[in-house]
Chains A and B, each alone.
Chain A
Amino acid sequence: MSVTLFLPAVLARLADGSRIEGAGGTVGEVVGDVAARYPALAERLRDTEGKPYPFVTFYLNDEDIRFHGGFDATVQDGDEVTVVPAIAGG
């Protein structure tokens, strides 16, 4: 499956831009594919065990993946995964 990963500007500079294509059957596989290609980005997306952080929320289309199996959530061709890290500025 080919999925588009959307990154906020703060992470986009660690990759080739804010939209990256990734391959895999689950959100975790797509993240793993992207992480392998952009090592600087990898540690911002998942921990050393490959699990999601509690302060980086992943959306599969408009849904928080935590309520759909986390990184095991299955993806379809053309799905969009949006990375929303916590920010605190005010």
Chain B
Amino acid sequence: MTAATLPELSREELRRYSRHLILPDLGIDGQRRLKKARVLLIGAGGLGSPLALYLAAAGIGTLGLVDFDVVEASNLQRQVLHGTRDIGRSKLASARDRIADVNPHVRCELHETRLTASNALEILREYDVVVDGTDNFATRYLTNDACVLLGKPNVYGSIFRFEGQVSVFATTDGPCYRCLYPEPPPPGLVPSCAEGGVLGVLPGLVGTIQATEALKLILGIGDPLIGRLLLVDSLGATYRTLKVRRNPLCPACGTREIQQLIDYDEFCGVSTEQPAGTIPQISPLDLAARLRRGDDIDVIDVREPYEWEIAHIEGARLLPFSEVPVSLATIDTARDVVVLCKSGGRSAAAVSHLQSVGYRKVWNLRGGIDAWSRDVDPYVPRY
């Protein structure tokens, strides 16, 4: 990009960005590049928070954000883009206001929708750099494949509990996410942050590294994490990089047999029909009515012991998910069995397992203990 095609900086912008302007390798031209840049953040949550704040502060001209969530109290331990007064608002409305305060020179483009195979190419096409801060495997594979098809760099970050990963995928010569992980784990095997927890500052560590990588790509400086995976271990206070090679057999960036986006829920084994279809469900209100009536039901809570300590349902018993397969002797096939977890994901997998080994009278508590607290007993704390 020649200097002539870059946007000018106003006097106010020159003052604002002065620490950048005197920085070797950045300077006025670099700052004008940042102003010209269009960066898309997928997810305005844990990783999206430091990303949006720092990229806005740095002077990225146009920040696109994709999210469809609402700010909840349980987000605020890590999602510093949003505040207490934003609880109940859409994350994008909250993000827009905060970004406008951080830097009014940034133009925000809000995509208040779930990223899907039918809208991803259209949305991503308009940006120079895509940053993956989403919270599920289906959207990660979707983002990766869309970036490969469009030739857009994908600044990847992902976190769990105390550890995180960062890399830059889908550049012209570099590997993609599928080169590192050809297929996702089956649903239920890897808990989400909502189920497994995450240290609040961890997305701060990982998201700021992603922001750094995005800036490096736009400025063309330094050594981006192309072909390298950075492992961040907050407990060990270690940062380690490992090589990621481009896989010649990768269906996305190698053989290029993926010519269009696929059904990512199906690819990740997440059928949106599954809970209603093959897994029998019972609503919290129906379960409460049956228990009040004195029906003989074995109510099994498959969460972890530390979750049980926070909240549990009177009359239920604890049997952590990983112990279900080896504890079948304690589950009577003749009794009615209702399985629950926090929000219904792990328990659906447990019900599916019980069905596969012959249990017929087994139901999943729809919405888990969250829904129980909301619909039946507000004295059960939500977490």
Residues of A within 8 A of B (CB): 8-10, 18, 40, 53-57, 59, 62-64, 66-67, 82, 84-90
Contacts and interface: CB of A to CB of B under 8 A. Distances in A.
B39 interface: no
A12 B225 CA distance: 27
Contacts of B181: 54-55, 57, 86
Contacts of B162: 9
A40 B326 CA distance: 11
Given A88-B140, A90-B135, A62 B185 contact: no
B163 A54 contact: no
Given A62-B243, A89-B158, A54 B43 contact: no
A89 B242 contact: no
Contact of A63 (B43, B140, B243): B243
B344 interface: no
Contact of A90 (B157, B190, B241): B157
Contacts, number: 94
A87 B165 contact: yes
Interface string B227-246: 00101010110001111110
A54 B158 contact: no
Given A84-B231, A84-B242, A90 B183 contact: no
Interface in B207-258: 229, 231, 233, 235-236, 240-245, 247
Contact of A87 (B43, B134, B190, B245): B190
Contacts of B135: 88-90
B244 A90 contact: no
B46 A54 contact: no
A27 to B, nearest CB: 14
Contacts of A18: 236
A53 B194 CA distance: 24
A62 B192 contact: no
B190 A84 contact: no
Nearest to B241: A62
B163 A90 contact: no
Interface of B: 43, 45-48, 132-137, 140, 157-165, 180-185, 190, 192-193, 196, 198, 203, 229, 231, 233, 235-236, 240-245, 247, 322
A25 B160 CA distance: 32
Contact of B163 (A9, A40, A64): A9
A40 B235 CA distance: 23
B242 A87 contact: no
Nearest to B235: A9
Contacts of A85: 185, 190
B161 A86 contact: no
A71 B192 CA distance: 28
A48 to B, nearest CB: 13
A89 B231 CA distance: 14
B196 A10 contact: yes
A42 to B, nearest CB: 12
A35 to B, nearest CB: 16
Contacts of B185: 53, 55-56, 85-86
Contact of A88 (B158, B161, B183): B158
A41 to B, nearest CB: 11
A53 B185 CA distance: 8
Contacts of B158: 87-90
A13 to B, nearest CB: 10
Nearest to A9: B162
Nearest to A61: B242
